[in-house]
Amino acid sequence: MNGGRIEIFEGDITKLAVDAIVNAANRTLLGGGGVDGAIHRAAGKELLEECRALGGCRDGEAKLTRGWRLPAKYVIHTVGPVWRGGNAGEAETLAACYRNCLAIAAKRGFESVAFPAISTGVYRYPREEATAIAVREVRDFLAANAVPARVVFVCFDARTRAAYEAALA
């Protein structure tokens, strides 16, 4: 399955020594709660300074920064959709997040990329639907691209892990 290129990790994404971790950010790119807050705390104030120069980010798009004090070399910041019931283009926007992050990783030659479950926290995207989109987009991208060699789905809790296991099965 996936040639062993997809892994699940249950824990804190800020601990991972990969080429890039993905941040589930907001349009300002100036930090927030959830995984965004954890990444900014662990990376240090230099990350915020670098983000200030980026001028924000549109929903579904992605922007790259250094990882600063993180064990990851880079952070790919993306803005997932706020769940509004499912008829506001949420699925396409979420798919675009995964595709655009992977495109940056491929362009930069990153071997390993770790994703949190984008939009499934504060933005309230239903977990099972979001993980199915994440798995589909990553599989499709890996089938068409040699890089990144490895993608990690980071699950902050057991329910998210179960959702990824079901989506990958």
Pick the stretch among 69-77, 84-92, 140-148, 152-160 that binds ligand AR6 (CB under 6 A): 152-160
Residue 90 C-alpha from the chain's centroid: 16
Return the residues of window 36-55 that contact ligand AR6 according to CB under 6 A.
36, 38
Asked if 99 contacts 128 with a C-beta cutoff of 8 angstroms, the reply is no
Question: Distance between CA atoms of 104 and 110, rounded to whole angstroms?
Answer: 9
Q: Other CB atoms closer than 10 Å to residue 13's CB: what's the count?
A: 25
User: Do 147 and 109 form a contact (C-beta atoms < 8 A)?
Assistant: yes
Choose, by CB under 6 A, the member of 25, 51, 104, 152 that binds ligand AR6: 25
The count of residues interacting with ligand AR6 (CB under 6 A) is 25
Q: What does the DSSP 8-state code read for residue 20?
A: E
Candidates 22, 134, 152, 154; binder of ligand AR6 (CB under 6 A) is 154
Q: Which stretch binds ligand AR6 (CB under 6 A): 6-14, 66-74, 103-111, 137-145?
A: 6-14
Token pair belonging to 145: 């691209």
Pick from 19, 70, 72, 116 the residue near ligand AR6 by CB under 6 A: 116
Q: Which of 13, 47, 96, 133 binds ligand AR6 (CB under 6 A)?
A: 13
Distance CA 28, CA 32 (A): 9
Should residue 67 be labelled a site residue for ligand AR6 when binding is judged by CB under 6 A? no
Per CB under 6 A, 121 contacts ligand AR6: yes
Q: Which residues have CB under 8 Å from 107's CB, separation 6+?
A: none
What does the binding site for ligand AR6 look like in residue numbers (CB under 6 A)?
12-14, 24-26, 32-36, 38, 80, 116-123, 154, 156-157, 160
